[in-house]
Amino acid sequence: MESVGENTATEIKQLGGENAADFGPENQAPEIRKLFTYIESQRARYITTLREAVGIRSVSGWPHARSESIRMIQWTATKLEALGFTVDIRKVGDETLPDGNIVPFPPIILATLGDSPEKKTLMIYGHVDVSAATFEEGWESDPFVLIDYHGALFGRGSADNKGPLLGWIHAIEAYQKNEMEMPVNIKFVIEGMQERGSQGLKTLLEASEAFVTDISSVVVSDGSWLGKEKPCLAYGLRGLLYFFVEVESGTKDLHSGVYGGCLRESMPDLLFLLNSLVDAAGNILIPGIQDEVCPISVDEEEVYDTIEFLPEEFRVDAGINTLSETEKVKLLMKRWRLPTLSIHGIQGCFSTPGALTVIPRKVIGKFSIRLVPNQKVEEVEKLVTDYVNSKWAERGSPNTMLIYTASDGFPSWTSNPLHENYLAARRATAMVYGQFPDLIRDGGHMGNIWTLQDITKQNILLLPMGAADDKTHSENEKLDSRNYIEGTKLMAAYFYEYGNIPPAEQ
Ligand SMILES: [Zn+2]
């Protein structure tokens, strides 16, 4: 793994040598033009297929509807078999529900097409589960019925991740329908539990040695562009470390009229601790937390300055009243390149409407830190724990306090954007959109990125299909049909470029 920071920025600047116009229609290989014409002609059918996929309620967070998730996996497997894939549907165990019932996790698809030793082998990761969706959340149409409204395809999973996954499938089909040889061997990993922590994925891939060897590169088409117009490739994700801090004052919730004044209450103690984590401007107050952060170079600032991003449009789309930073480069640094701490909630406190006078016996505060290069999970965990303990000592409360992490956490992740995998996608983007993509990072984390990285040890490309306003996890999710169709062309061109590009000098 290459470390990212100054070097990457310096090298990204050197990408300026190519000209997007050199990849325009007049310079494209006849095969590419044929593929594009064919894909364009299939628009209606592609949308119908997406409608079928959206109609399957594969919500991984609805165990009562698990049969739908399993049906979705089978539906996808059938599509791959039709293209000649060898499809392995692997069971990954069961889930025990709170009521004691046991339901199977959706199986995971490992599928292979081609084994030519002359070709590179591309691993494509995708997921067919979706987040929950109901009318109560504010959907204006049935989330499981795809509707085409002025070119926007509304429906749960249209953008995350059924549309992009179908893009790959249709791109491969386009080669076959045009009797063109696939330029690469393909291995698909498709799961149905991504939105709930990719249950079973790591264990399965670790046990599937034959499947994961000889992978040349990995591509993931999840996530979205930075804005609505300009395509992007992402080469970095922030990590995540999530904390629980628990304060307990006794064994019973009490009434303030009877007991108020008789004890040191847990809630003010917790608020004191939470309030000592960040200052009013959002700066993290934990000493030493910035020490490991990779310094930001002049080159990096210059690279960020070339990225197309409008802070005001971002503000409006996100529904934020006032941004903490309005300057483009600084705001992008805050989203991708600097650690941030967010306080998410308090469990055990009175949080429903009304004016109850309870004194809670135990409250659990929840906060998380987004990690950046080169912060290490264990070091940050120790700094936070030591700091909260010292604050607790300062507080001098007789109550008990416990701080612990919710899970193992993930470090930040970065890829080499100068790898042939990225260069191929960059050229493919120029062929379809007439411009090179912005090279961006993403502020969030994908838990499974480290699984893919650790297991394949190869370059991973994040190739988003949809726009920034697709609302992938909220109400009225959509994928613009433009992005769906052009994105499919891009995938077909990327296969071509990646298959033919010589390994870049690394
Ligand atoms: Zn996704």
pLDDT in tens, 298-325: 888 888 999 999 999 999 988 999 999 9
Neighbours of ion ligand 1 (CB under 5 A): 160-161, 222
Residue 246 in this model has a pLDDT that exceeds 50: yes
* 320 Cα to the center of ligand 1, angstroms: 24
Residue 6 is predicted with a pLDDT of: 45
* pLDDT tens digits for range 122-169: 999 999 999 999 988 899 999 999 999 999 999 999 999 999 999 999
For residue 293, what are the CA distances in angstroms to 128, 351, 449, 472? 35, 37, 21, 30
* Percentage of the chain exceeding pLDDT 90: 85
Q: What is the mean pLDDT of residues 464-487?
A: 94
* 144 Cα to the center of ligand 1, angstroms: 17
* 133 Cα to the center of ligand 1, angstroms: 15
pLDDT band for position 92 (50/70/90)? very high
* Per-residue buried b or exposed e for 314-353, using 16+ beta carbons within 10 Å of the residue's own CB: beeeeeeeeeeeeebbbbbbbbbbbbbbeeeebebbeeee
* 489 Cα to the center of ligand 1, angstroms: 20
Q: What is the mean pLDDT of residues 233-239?
A: 94
Angle at which helix 298-305 crosses helix 328-336, to 10 degrees, equals 110
Domains delineated in the chain: 15-237+412-500 (3.40.630.10), 239-293+338-405 (3.30.70.360)
Q: What is the mean pLDDT of residues 260-284?
A: 97
pLDDT band for position 434 (50/70/90)? very high
pLDDT band for position 238 (50/70/90)? very high
User: Which two tokens mark 239?
Assistant: 């990590």
* 33 Cα to the center of ligand 1, angstroms: 30
Residue 360 in this model has a pLDDT that exceeds 50: yes
* Per-residue buried b or exposed e for 376-400, using 16+ beta carbons within 10 Å of the residue's own CB: ebeebbebbbebbeebbeebebebe
* 334 Cα to the center of ligand 1, angstroms: 23
* Percentage of the chain exceeding pLDDT 70: 96
* 68 Cα to the center of ligand 1, angstroms: 18
Residue 4 is predicted with a pLDDT of: 46
* 222 Cα to the center of ligand 1, angstroms: 5
Matching residue, tokens 């399965």: 204
* 116 Cα to the center of ligand 1, angstroms: 30
* 126 Cα to the center of ligand 1, angstroms: 8
Lowest mean pLDDT among 18-22, 348-352, 453-457: 18-22
Q: Which candidate, 41, 2, 451, places its Cα nearest to that of 207?
A: 451
* 129 Cα to the center of ligand 1, angstroms: 8
Q: Which candidate, 445, 301, 424, 322, places its Cα nearest to that of 372?
A: 445
* 191 Cα to the center of ligand 1, angstroms: 11
* 27 Cα to the center of ligand 1, angstroms: 34
Residue 505 is predicted with a pLDDT of: 46
Strand 86-90 to 108-113 pairing: antiparallel
* pLDDT tens digits for range 393-428: 999 999 999 999 998 899 999 999 989 999 999 999
Local structure of 245: helix, strand or coil: strand
Say which residues have a Cβ less than 8 Å from residue 201's Cβ, sequence separation at least 6. 92, 108, 189, 191, 193, 448, 451
Q: Is the peptide bond before 421 cis (omega within 30 degrees of 0)?
A: no
According to DSSP, residue 57 is labeled: -
pLDDT band for position 12 (50/70/90)? confident
* 377 Cα to the center of ligand 1, angstroms: 24
Q: What is the mean pLDDT of residues 353-366?
A: 96
Backbone angles phi, psi at 156, to 5 degrees: -65, 125
* 467 Cα to the center of ligand 1, angstroms: 13
Residue 8 is predicted with a pLDDT of: 67
User: Which two tokens mark 480?
Assistant: 């613009």
Strand 232-237 to 413-414 pairing: antiparallel
Residue 398 is predicted with a pLDDT of: 98
* 419 Cα to the center of ligand 1, angstroms: 24
Q: What is the mean pLDDT of residues 473-477?
A: 91
Residue 301 is predicted with a pLDDT of: 87
Residue 309 near residue 333 (C-beta atoms within 8 A): no
Residue 300 is predicted with a pLDDT of: 85
* 160 Cα to the center of ligand 1, angstroms: 5
Q: What is the mean pLDDT of residues 21-27?
A: 90
Q: How far is CA 487 from the centre of its chain?
A: 18
Residue 14 is predicted with a pLDDT of: 67
Instruction: State the chain's mean pLDDT as an integer.
Output: 93
* 477 Cα to the center of ligand 1, angstroms: 12
DSSP 291-354: TTSPPPPHHHHHHHHTS---HHHHHHHHT-SS-S--SHHHHHHHHHTS-EEEEEEEETS--SSS
Residue 292 near residue 284 (C-beta atoms within 8 A): no
Residue 372 in this model has a pLDDT that exceeds 90: yes
* 323 Cα to the center of ligand 1, angstroms: 26
Residue 2 is predicted with a pLDDT of: 41
For residue 466, what are the CA distances in angstroms to 230, 366, 483? 10, 31, 6
Alpha-helical (H) ranges within 90-154 are none
Higher local confidence (pLDDT), 473 or 212: 212
Q: Which candidate, 454, 429, 476, 493, places its Cα nearest to that of 39?
A: 493
* pLDDT tens digits for range 35-78: 999 999 999 999 999 999 999 999 999 999 999 999 999 999 99
Residue 444 is predicted with a pLDDT of: 73
Residue 501 is predicted with a pLDDT of: 86
Note the residue count of the chain.
506
* 446 Cα to the center of ligand 1, angstroms: 8
* 131 Cα to the center of ligand 1, angstroms: 9
